[in-house]
Amino acid sequence: MTSDVSLRVERDPVPRKVKVTPEIAASFLSRNSVNRRLDQGHVQALVEAILHDEWKLTHQGIGFDTNGRLLDGQHRLSAIIEADRPVEMFVWDGLPEDVFPVLDTVKRRSAADALSSTGEKKYLTLLSSTIRHVLLFRTMPNEPWTGARSRVSNDRILAEFKVDVDSYREAVTSGRELAKHVFASQTALAAGYFLTTEAAPAVDVDAWKAGLKSGANLEPGDARLVLREVPKGAPKRGVKRRPDMRDQVSMYIKAWNAWVRPEQTGKLVLRRLRKNEKMPMPVEEPFTR
């Protein structure tokens, strides 16, 4: 009798649906001889999908050639081992050896592609980036928003968008408008706009935006004026680098907080987050009955 992992076959490739445990994944990986070097960032993204119960059974899975060697699936198998959870996937046995060069050569679907499946048409790249950074703010505000750990799955972005479609559309539109007048990127401004207006829906956001866009009649020290005066472009001599996305979102929130609650704020200084400095949280200003 042939064991479950005995993979030499003499027929056309046939898929099997298998619940791949970490132990089975390790056994399958032991047959790896021709795969590419691991992309640890991709592995980590798959791990996050598994741990967040976002793994879905699709036609993509594990592929072995006619000699039982692993041709496709090393990233998925490595993620199962790292996540230490079993997942279901299709296992293909008996693939011709010459299919390896064409495996996984198609571009992966982006978050913008996923959002387009909802019928959304405008500013998809900015929209997906905005949602991603809102999620990073919520889940890891005090950690870098770059590298493998900062990857967010398309499923999470799509699910988040569906929770508050109108607010995300408004945030993207506002981010595009404000970027003409403020140093930060459209994404940082859209994410900051979404987070602050979500926390303080009772605040007159139109007055906030009008001041940022025109700068007219703003008194010295007005938080909107301070934010407008943060320099655009390259950093001044002696400054190591431009503010990154996390820095930009933090400055937007600091300025918003100072404008909403000026009595609680001293002299407003907007700069990059210092080492170990925590991300500011938007002040809350809910509607009252």
Spans of all domains in the chain: 14-102, 111-264
Residue 35 has a pLDDT of: 54
Q: Which residues of the chain have pLDDT under 70?
A: 1-11, 33-37, 98-109, 233-241, 288-289
Residue 117 has a pLDDT of: 79
Residue 8 has a pLDDT of: 47
The contacts of residue 67 (CB under 8 Å, 6+ apart) are: 8, 97
Residue 1 has a pLDDT of: 42
Residue 81 has a pLDDT of: 94
Angle between helices 40-51 and 74-83 (to 10 degrees): 50
Residue 106 has a pLDDT of: 46
Residue 148 has a pLDDT of: 79
Tell me if the pTM is above 0.85.
Answer: no
Give percent of the chain with pLDDT exceeding 70.
Answer: 87
C-alpha to C-alpha distance for 34 and 238, rounded to whole angstroms:
49
Region at 276 (left for phi over 0; alpha for psi -120 to 50; beta for the rest): left
Architecture in CATH of 14-102 = Alpha-Beta Complex (3.90)
Residue 241 has a pLDDT of: 66
DSSP string, 164-227: SHHHHHHHHHHHHHHTTTSSS-HHHHHHHHHHHHHH-TTS-HHHHHHHHHH-TTPPTT-HHHHH
Spatial contact of 49 and 55, defined as CB atoms under 8 Å apart: yes
